Amino acid sequence: MARQVSRRKKAKKNVPSAIAHIHSTFNNTIITVTDLLGDTICWSSSGAIGFKGAKKSTPYAAQLVAQIVAKSAKENGVKTLAIRIKGFGPGKDAALRQFQALEFEIAEIKNVTPLPHNGVRKAKKFRRR
């Protein structure tokens, strides 16, 4: 006998303002929308929507990810966004432009890419005997 699993319907949150975290690497683009406390409202990545290999890091893939995330965020009542961009990938600009085109009120755009202050220790000088 198979057990029936009851699935709860996901409750829609009503969050007027949120933070969009765009994490753009050379291999993928991940976009997460959180409320002001950091609880995730929705997320997606270019790998999650079906892109594979080198196509995951393209600006087109980031644009489609931003469309999907923006649609889900609007369903949860998001009207204003603060955008935090992290990484050096090619998809960050395309995702940002897509959020602007989808008529969100953008409160701020901040680059939070971590940069080393001094880097790693240099290798010792090679000595030949």
Q: Per residue in 80-118, pLDDT tens? A: 999 999 999 888 999 999 999 988 899 999 999 999 898
Secondary structure E strands in the chain: 17-24, 29-34, 40-45, 80-86, 105-111
Average pLDDT over residues 69-86: 92
Q: DSSP code of 54? A: G
64 CB neighbour count, 10 Å cutoff = 20
Looking at residue 116, what is its pLDDT? 87
Give the integer Cα–Cα distance in Å for 34 and 72.
12
3-state secondary structure of 23: strand
Q: Give the Cα-Cα-Cα angle 60, 65, 67 (nearest 5 degrees).
A: 95
3-state secondary structure of 109: strand
Tell me which of 3.40.710.10, 3.30.420.80, 3.40.50.720, 2.60.120.10 is the CATH number of domain 17-111.
Answer: 3.30.420.80
Nearest to 43 by CA among 19, 15, 77: 19
Q: Per residue in 22-63, pLDDT tens? A: 999 999 999 999 999 989 999 999 999 999 999 998 999 999
Single pTM value for the model: 0.82
Looking at residue 9, what is its pLDDT? 67
Average pLDDT over residues 64-71: 94
Looking at residue 2, what is its pLDDT? 64
- Measuring CA to CA, how many Å separate 120 from each of 77, 115, 124? 45, 12, 12
Looking at residue 94, what is its pLDDT? 92
**Domain extents for the chain?**
17-111
Looking at residue 1, what is its pLDDT? 56
Residue 16 pLDDT > 90, yes or no? no
